[in-house]
Structure 1
Amino acid sequence: MINDDGRRLAFHVTPGHSPAIVLDAGGGLDSSYWKDLVPKLAAATGSEIITYDRAGLGDSDEVPGPWKVESAVSDLETGLRELGVTRNVILVAHSQAGEVATYFTRANPRLVSGAVLVDASLPELYTDKEIARLVAANKPQVDAAKADPSTKENRQLIATAENYAPMHRAYHQAAWPDRVPATVIVSEKTPFDGSPEDARLWRDAATAFAKAGPDRTLVTAEGSSHDIPIERPGLVLNEIEKMATAHR
């Protein structure tokens, strides 16, 4: 358990050599999302593997008020520092964790050697028009969470929704550092399988991100839903292994 600004955060470590591989799951998901991939990744790379529960998820403490990506970045910075990880990190970020990875890498470009962004939320998606569409689409789920009995999961959903629009308007302006290579794995079905327009925009954002800087590779997980690590673990493992090998 790591302490950051009064928050207790759960980190899980599989010992190994550098580079350290840090796995960060998507919105509403904790470190258990990676439970099947961790032993395979450790065996394939020999690297130190780190998973953790962001605040409000798994065994980590909740934080009152709207979800703030800055707090999530601070939590990860503190956790890695306390674990003695001060160089050569490979970030693996799924879905909402792409936002944490982007801001973390911007703040720590010399700490992060590379990233594998797995159907990640990327800045290019969040035009004003798309933010409005997503806020409207998510409203019934958020309203239901407010009406239902309060649970950790519901509170986390509500916290994320509270400042969704301003946070993503700011995120739209965030740029990935050119010095940090990234592999972008995009799913065929995306998180918006029921909305062809949003699915197209999600895939277009991944393509635009990959083209926007040097040392970026786009990989399509054909036939996969948003849960690429569950449905195509071999693909994710292979791309992480390639990135880790390049920075051993």
Structure 2
Amino acid sequence: MTAKLRSRRRSIALALVLPAALVAGLTACGNSPPSAPGPQAPPSASAPASPAASTLKMVNVDGRRLAFHVTPGHLPAIVLDAGGGEDSSYWQRLAPKLSQDTGSMIITYDRAGLGNSDELPGPWNVHSAVSDLEAGLRQLGVTQKVLLVSHSQAGEVATYFARANPQLVSGAVLVDANLPPFFTDQEIARLVAATGPQVEEAKKQPSTKENRQLIATAANFGPAHHEYHQATWPNTVPAIVIVSTKTPFDGSPEDVQRWRDAAATFAKAGPDRELVTAEGSSHDIPVDRPQLVLDQIEKMAGRI
């Protein structure tokens, strides 16, 4: 393997399993100050006359504050969950259009340690992320007809969330998402080896919220993904799986094929699953092919 290819694999592995914005050296987004939490009303049964602006709602989970951005509308409630290291601002261009086209309640949020949400000490834990989302939706009054839209690492949150809440989740659109079939023992070992040097370098840097998040995400990667490889998607929850042609591994044909094979395997493993290919797109399908993502979300919303 050439030095150039090794470097490329390290970068793409980080983009897949660690906070992508941190790896790229981006600064945290300047979000507006959190507003005080208030009593929440259940979602409206009818669509607003015109798209409304989103409102920042801070919810309390075990003494921590989590930021949820809510645009009112009817059910299904469409929950947009960004990939590793990305916060709710990842969806800032897509969410208003989705609200206008569907009239649905739109929810974006910052997972712990990202955006306006408080940090959670220790290694990143997908089960804690699931509990946070459950608590947030409950406090927002969302108790039925959730449509999950999950990009990259958020696919792991979606999988465990749907398993724990099959009556709450009515459908999902998984956008180049981390899916269980991809994380074989061999692939986990390759990813851990590829990201190791960058994680060690991060530990030497000044302690910032961004660096702490990167290190936390990497800390338990191996054991967490051995567990994730065994996870299954509930057969009662329909899913559209969108896979990119370039994938996170553009430049490594072997890994590209493994990623796309995993998406195909997942799509074939249960009923009511559809595989859609985002031709010409990088891993960032919501950025490269936003209309495709909108179309698939609207198609799934129409089935619920």
Give the alignment's TM-score, normalised by structure 1.
0.98
2:114 partner SS: coil
Give the alignment's TM-score, normalised by structure 2.
0.80
Task: Confirm or deny that 1:161 pairs with 2:202.
Answer: no
1:10 partner SS: strand
Work out which of the two has the higher radius of gyration on C-alpha atoms and give 1 or 2: 2
Q: Distance in 2 between matches of 1:27 and 1:246?
A: 29
Task: Confirm or deny that 1:245 pairs with 2:302.
Answer: yes
Q: Distance in 2 between matches of 1:204 and 1:17?
A: 36
1:63 partner SS: coil
- Residue 229 of structure 2 is matched in structure 1 by 172
Task: Structure 1 unaligned segments of length 5 or more: list them.
Answer: none
Task: Confirm or deny that 1:145 pairs with 2:199.
Answer: no
Q: Equivalent of 1:129, from 168, 182, 186?
A: 186
Amino acid at match of 1:40: K
Amino acid at match of 1:240: I
Q: Distance in 1 between matches of 2:291 and 2:206?
A: 39
Matches within 5 A, 1:74-85: 74-85=131-142
- Give the superposition deviation at 1:148: 1.8
**171-180 vs 148-157, which moves further:** 148-157
2:144 partner SS: coil
Q: Distance in 1 between matches of 2:206 and 2:244?
A: 33
- Give the superposition deviation at 1:194: 3.0
Q: Equivalent of 1:199, from 256, 260, 279?
A: 256
Task: Structure 2 unaligned segments of length 5 or more: list them.
Answer: 1-57
Runs of 4+ residues deviating >4 angstroms: none
Q: Distance in 1 between matches of 2:127 and 2:62?
A: 12
Compute the RMSD of aligned alpha carbons.
0.7
| 1:69-105 alpha-carbon deviations (Å, 9 max, x no partner) | 1100000000000000000000000000000000000
Q: Equivalent of 2:281, from 199, 224, 228?
A: 224
| 1:16-36 alpha-carbon deviations (Å, 9 max, x no partner) | 000000000000000000000
| 1:176-229 alpha-carbon deviations (Å, 9 max, x no partner) | 000000000001111111322222111110000000000000001011111000
- Residue 30 of structure 1 is matched in structure 2 by 87
Q: Distance in 2 between matches of 1:61 and 1:245?
A: 35
Matches within 5 A, 1:113-124: 113-124=170-181
Task: Confirm or deny that 1:20 pairs with 2:73.
Answer: no
- Residue 155 of structure 2 is matched in structure 1 by 98
Q: Distance in 1 between matches of 2:270 and 2:70?
A: 32
